[in-house]
Amino acid sequence: MKIKKMLVVVGPTATGKSDLAVFLAKKFSGEVISADSRQVYRGLYIGAGKITKKEMRGVPHHLIDVTNPKQVFTVSLYKKLAERAVRDIRERSKIPIICGGTGLYIQAIVDGIVFPEVPPNKKLRKELEKKTAAELFAILKTLDSRRAKGIDQHNPRRLIRAIEIAKHLGKVPHLEVEPPSNTGILQIGIDMPDEILKGRIEKRLLTRVKKGMIGEAKKLHREGLSWKRMEELGLEYRYLARYLQGKISKKEMIAQLAHEIWQYAKRQRTWFRKDKRIKWFKPQQRKNIEKLVRKFL
C-alpha cells in the first residue's frame, strides 16, 4: 500500500534536525530527503556539516551529493528531484521525511510552489557583477523589499538572480502555489534558547576546523573550485576562501564565521516561525515528538 503521509523536520542550523530525522526514520520506517542548499554538492562535507554514513545509521538519505559545486543548483531543480524521491519512497511503502534548514526548498515541497522560468540575462549579469553585494542589495530593495527581507544580502549570485527575475517579470513575483496532491504533511520544528544555540554553533564550528575544514577547502580549490564560486556558496566556504587567500587571519575567520552562522540561524528561525502549521519542540522532547508522529500516522 502506497504511503500518503509525509514528515518534515525544520529549524535553525545546529539544533539537531538530522539526528531527529534519523530517529523518526528508524521508528516509523522512513527515508530522509535532505533540504539543504549546500549538501546537494559533492565535495562539501565538513564545511557544509553533511551527515556521515555512521550518523545515517542505515537510513537511506536522498538529495545529498547530487551535483558538482561548480554548477548552480536551482530551487526548481530541487523541487523536481525531491518530488521524484517522495514518489520513489512512497512506492516502497516508506515514509518520506524532508529534513533541512533551506526554507525555500521546504516550501517548494510543502506548498508545491511553481517557480518562474526566467532565462539568464548575460548582458545584465555582466553589468551587475561589477557591483558590490551592498550595491546589489540596495537595487533589490528598490525592486522588491519583500524579496530583500528573506535573501542572504552577502551573496552576490543570489542577489543578481533575484534582480534578474525582478527585471524580467517587472517585479519579484509572489510565487504561484500548486496545492500538493495530498495534505497529509506534519511539520516539526526544532529550536532552543539563543545562548544554548550560540554555544552549539561555536562548538560545532571549532570541531569542524579540527576535523579538517580548511584542508577540505584547499582540496576543492586545487580541484578547480574558484575563490569566486566559494564566495557564492556562502557561510563556511566564503570565509575559508578569504582565509586561504590571506585576506583574514584564522582567528578572524573563526570569529566572523561564528557571527555569520548565528545571523543565518536567526534568519532561518524568522522564516520558519511565519508558518503557523509547524509544531515546535526542544530537541530533548523526543517522547512528545514521537507521540505526535504516532498519532499523525
Residues 153 and 204 in one domain: no
Q: How far is CA 62 from CA 86, 99, 110, 187, in A?
A: 9, 10, 17, 18
Last residue of a domain, one of 101, 136, 169: 169
HSE-CB at 296 with a 13 A cutoff on CA atoms is 22
Residues 142 and 248 in one domain: no
Largest CA distance in the chain: 58
Look at residue 178 in the predicted model and tell me its pLDDT.
54
**Residues with Cβ within 8 Å of residue 221, at least 6 apart in sequence:** 227, 230, 241, 244
Q: Is the dihedral of CA 152, 153, 154, 158 positive or negative?
A: positive
Look at residue 171 in the predicted model and tell me its pLDDT.
53
- State pTM to two decimals: 0.86
Residues 182 and 77 in one domain: yes
Residue 271 lies in a domain: yes
| Domain containing residue 148 | 122-169
| CATH number assigned to the domain comprising residue 184 | 3.40.50.300
Residues 89 and 129 in one domain: no
Look at residue 169 in the predicted model and tell me its pLDDT.
75
For the sheet with 185-190, list strands across it.
Answer: 61-62, 30-34, 95-99, 6-10, 185-190, 279-281
Residues 90 and 191 in one domain: yes
Last residue of a domain, one of 130, 153, 169: 169
Which residue numbers in the chain have pLDDT < 70?
A: 1-3, 171-183
Look at residue 44 in the predicted model and tell me its pLDDT.
96
> pLDDT tens digit string along 220-267?
999 999 999 999 898 999 999 999 999 999 999 999 999 999 999 999
Q: Which helix (H) or strand (E) holds 135?
A: helix 133-143
- The count of structural domains within the chain is 2
Coil, helix or strand at residue 35 = coil
Residues 43 and 186 in one domain: yes
Residues 128 and 199 in one domain: no
Residues 90 and 131 in one domain: no
Residues 97 and 204 in one domain: yes
Is beta strand 176-177 parallel, antiparallel or unpaired with respect to 113-114? antiparallel
Residues 160 and 180 in one domain: no
Residue 1 lies in a domain: no
Residues 31 and 77 in one domain: yes
Residues 86 and 226 in one domain: yes
